[in-house]
Structure 1
């Protein structure tokens, strides 16, 4: 069995047409999903990029592998095995077209071949395919694991002209939808992604750019599907498509980024096509990044000797078994927060509000009645709050044992994004306090 693992960075499930989005952004992925198994409720428990991919490739939560932020002080313990090492030791030719190694060195572990397309967040899907397709043509007779990492939906949003979804007036002076964004503490850092857009006033214009990026990468993924079929290896190839996290457009005062433990960022796509021996279906059960590694290993017939946090999704692929009852989440870049999500509720605790000092200390959302998480019920549903808070804190304590909580440690040393903001302000000859006062930030 071959394994093709495709990660589309910053791809929000809520902006894909196969997940019910208003625009037909992903027609090729839609067709692929119809022939595969589509998980409707897959979640990233550790965000953003570095924690998420570390979780995917170790099968461990961030609270255990300790990578909970970018520019963090922790490194991945070399004693923790990663998926690629296990596959390679079991006879797989392991290859990546990826540049995560530019972030942290452990992302290159276990690969027989590693092709860095350069450009970190700027490597296009065309560039990825220009390496991946010839590699497949040369190596398809081997038992392989190929990891392809596409960056296109990540900022800056620069889609191909053919994917222009915007029909409004992007610089209407009467449109105030970006005003609060430009007054936020974090804006001097984010401004680098948006200055080239000119005097845009309509947030919907930027949303349309993001959607265009999704359509572009969707088009390029069809080239990968085509070469797999041309080489006649589709029936012997496990294909997994997912993302590290989603993207918030304007929700919760988070503009065009992926922080905040809200559905816009934590709800991820997950499509699995296992060797044609499972019937296509949609699965409503909750699953997580940590479940990918044990699933791949079971389908490959490889036993894992160390304990993983995730569990194999093979029973769900067969139409049996159940998903997880709770998803435990954390972030520690722009703000430090921990959360618990059940099918009905999400409860969030702010440890350090970071770039959002106006944010509430505690948040509770009824996901059945309020899927967009607009109404904070913390004050009204105290019994639910008490139950979820106790469960969340007890769970974290059990996971940690006598070890310090990496989220609290990183937050105590200073959130990395605050340093980024300070550097951006310094280039403007400003301090953070000056910027906040100047913008009358609230």
Structure 2
């Protein structure tokens, strides 16, 4: 049986690699792919086959004829089952029936050649076992030395090159930061940081969900230029910040809280010498070895182990405290003669909201006990569904109560991230690591919390999802603090980093350095990219959820305090962000807005046709 298990495992590995090569995509189950999977898959199948073979031998021992009948059929059935379970889209029951049918057909044929087949097994088993062991050793050495080899291959860094610290607060919208005038003190440490640099009060993401937004942050490209889509990774068409800075001699590392859409399989980590998503993906263990194969996952599932990677029981969340600890530990170990590019993605403000601070430091109903919070949600959901029970709440009252609770929880999570950022900055300053460091603090997208009846992101291009914080602290004395109120795009972040790291004309990133907008050089007016946000998919809400119809695909363009939104079917919206920041009054219905809409329409069409569109043309729009 062990021989069959090793054969199944190596065939399994080939099938996994072939499926990935023929159609690069990110299946949900694959976000938990260990870096050592090359040998783990054969080892997992060999382990399962060995245990099942031992159990069968003991069970059929009293019945010699049954033992002979199952001797070939059982391992052949398991071999095909192990392969078929790796075929995406094939039902488990169908895989089982096919495997059994094939075993019943092939088993008798091998039974007739039992002596020859037995000799083949005896001769090849040592080679398979030694090959698996050698693979384990080679992969372990390769994984452990990957960062060292990347640094050895990089050119020496430019003398005086600044460090780069890119911090992304996943799912944090701008209006919930005290930095942006929120009535709660959610971000005192980011406020303090902004006093040293430039605050962009109207920064916009390029996409309202994680993967394409991060891909733009790493490449400076619009989402429609990139390969990223739900389940589709970033390809190698454009260089990333990590690749470019790595070639410039930087030590590069990414520490990821969003282990799903920023998972290494999505391509966001391309070019980083070290890239840590789920802890479970970084080092081998018995559990991860068993989990690596489809057959092993079914065994774990039968034993009651949580298998859904989106379930925190299966993949626990990495907190801001954990990410800071990992990054600071890496900084202590990096070569002192190289500048660093460190990227951290914080996931604490993403639903489901989790609290890591004592109740007295939380906001509103977030201070309730977990049991009381669950009871509150349950009561509100029942009332919204028309079953108020003893609460007596109307659906409208329940909706307001639930929305307020989520606002309290969301603000509490943001305050926790800010607290941890303060500790990070203090520790880096104590170590002397902030003196020559470019710091960029931003978010990939926002969150709808009751607006338009939704509790979600990735569902629209309205400001609740597109307006994000952005603070840039240059690595030198700055005549700050400065505030830039013009709308800007996160698409320009790579160009900004390229400017401050001295890439100059060798920079491969399109766009314009954002800090030019704060230079106040009247002789050289700053340029900036169009402020475009794109949503390419539709979220299909469950039919029983009382939410508006799905929104998307859609694109928005912001200029001169107005936001223009267009969907593929041709419907258009226009809002005045200065007097209507919640985007309630659609000016597209006003005949007087026709010239403005036509100008926006032309700009959006031109942007899609020609990526070199001049951003200054947006300024030609008439003032509202």
Shorter-chain TM-score tier: 0.7 to 0.9
Q: Which has the higher strand share?
A: 1
Partner of 1:194: none
Deviations 1:155-210 (A, max 9, x none): 1111233442115998789x979977x79xxxxxxxxxxxxxx9995310111000
- TM-score, normalised with respect to structure 1: 0.77
| Inter-partner Cα distance in structure 1 for 2:399 and 2:588 | 39
Shift of 1:303: 3.4
Residue correspondence of structure 1 range 3-14 to structure 2 within 5 A: 3-14=164-175
Give the counterpart of 1:153 among 324, 327, 349. 349
Give the counterpart of 1:339 among 556, 568, 578. 556
Shift of 1:12: 0.8
Partner of 2:578: 368
Partner of 1:137: 332
Partner of 1:392: 604
| Inter-partner Cα distance in structure 2 for 1:289 and 1:144 | 21
Partner of 2:463: 263
Structure index of larger Rg: 2
SS at match of 1:94: strand
Residue correspondence of structure 1 range 230-245 to structure 2 within 5 A: 230-245=430-445
Shift of 1:152: 0.6
Shift of 1:390: 2.9
Shift of 1:255: 1.9
Deviations 1:263-290 (A, max 9, x none): 1111111111112322221111222111
Distance 1:326 1:178, change over 3 A: farther
| Inter-partner Cα distance in structure 2 for 1:144 and 1:279 | 25
Partner of 1:328: 532
- TM-score, normalised with respect to structure 2: 0.55
Shift of 1:215: 0.5
| Inter-partner Cα distance in structure 2 for 1:54 and 1:138 | 28
1:88 and 2:246 correspond: yes
1:289 and 2:490 correspond: yes
Range 315-324 or range 334-343, more displaced: 315-324
| Inter-partner Cα distance in structure 2 for 1:325 and 1:293 | 12
Distance 1:48 1:179, change over 3 A: farther
Distance 1:178 1:331, change over 3 A: farther
SS at match of 1:207: helix
Shift of 1:300: 0.7
Task: Confirm or deny: 8 A CA contact 2:492 2:529 kept in the other structure.
Answer: no
| Inter-partner Cα distance in structure 2 for 1:140 and 1:30 | 32
Shift of 1:115: 2.4
Partner of 2:208: 47
Task: Confirm or deny: 8 A CA contact 2:488 2:529 kept in the other structure.
Answer: no
Distance 1:396 1:260, change over 3 A: same
Please list every run of 5 or more consecutive structure 2 residues that lacks an aligned counterpart in the other structure.
1-161, 280-311, 387-397, 540-551, 614-624
| Inter-partner Cα distance in structure 2 for 1:269 and 1:261 | 16
Shift of 1:96: 1.1
| Inter-partner Cα distance in structure 1 for 2:240 and 2:382 | 42
Shift of 1:397: 2.9
Shift of 1:123: 1.8
Task: Confirm or deny: 8 A CA contact 1:287 1:323 kept in the other structure.
Answer: no
Partner of 1:164: 362
Shift of 1:128: 0.7
Matched residue count: 375
Task: Confirm or deny: 8 A CA contact 1:64 1:400 kept in the other structure.
Answer: no
Please list every run of 5 or more consecutive structure 1 residues that lacks an aligned counterpart in the other structure.
184-197, 353-359, 402-442
Partner of 2:587: 377
| Inter-partner Cα distance in structure 2 for 1:200 and 1:263 | 21
| Inter-partner Cα distance in structure 2 for 1:222 and 1:41 | 24
| Inter-partner Cα distance in structure 1 for 2:586 and 2:530 | 20
| Inter-partner Cα distance in structure 1 for 2:191 and 2:220 | 27
Residue correspondence of structure 1 range 345-356 to structure 2 within 5 A: 345-351=562-568
| Inter-partner Cα distance in structure 2 for 1:314 and 1:154 | 29
Task: Confirm or deny: 8 A CA contact 2:554 2:566 kept in the other structure.
Answer: yes
| Inter-partner Cα distance in structure 2 for 1:136 and 1:325 | 33
Task: Confirm or deny: 8 A CA contact 2:514 2:528 kept in the other structure.
Answer: no
- Higher RCO (C-alpha under 8 Å, 6+ residues apart): 1
Partner of 1:310: 511
Task: Confirm or deny: 8 A CA contact 1:246 1:268 kept in the other structure.
Answer: yes
Shift of 1:71: 2.0
SS at match of 1:38: strand
Partner of 1:70: 230
Give the counterpart of 1:278 among 478, 493, 505. 478
